[in-house]
Amino acid sequence: MHFDFGIFGISLPPLHITIIAIVIIFFLVRWSKQLETRRFTVFFYFLISTAIVPIFSANTKTGLFELWVPLGFIVVFLHLYRSSRNHPSKMKASILGLCIAIYQMILQYSG
């Protein structure tokens, strides 16, 4: 969406992406309020778990094939599994980050 206001304009992502972003921010704020200390860590767990990386690349006749893995979620999950300060809110935030990482992988494979 693009809104023109004379000499300048505002560009927004599509409506469904905007609504999903608002819902994600709502959940992260809600889960951060459940923590007693270091409430901002929920946002870091979410951001780190959205990271995807290619672990394998190969040239084929039709083009380049890359195998993507949500490495950020794997790292956060192993950290939470080994940590003594494990909280359900942090796990919820990392699973939400995994959902975003899966969406990013779908975009990589479809494009």
Q: Which domain holds residue 93?
A: 2-110
Residue 52 pLDDT: 97
Mean pLDDT of 64-76: 94
What is the total count of domains within the chain? 1
Q: Which amino acid is at 29?
A: V
pLDDT single digits (tens) 18-69 = 899 999 999 999 999 998 888 899 999 999 999 999 999 999 898 888 999 9
CA distances from 57 to 7, 60, 64, 66, 68 (A): 46, 10, 7, 4, 9
Residue 84 pLDDT: 83
Enter the pTM of the model.
0.85
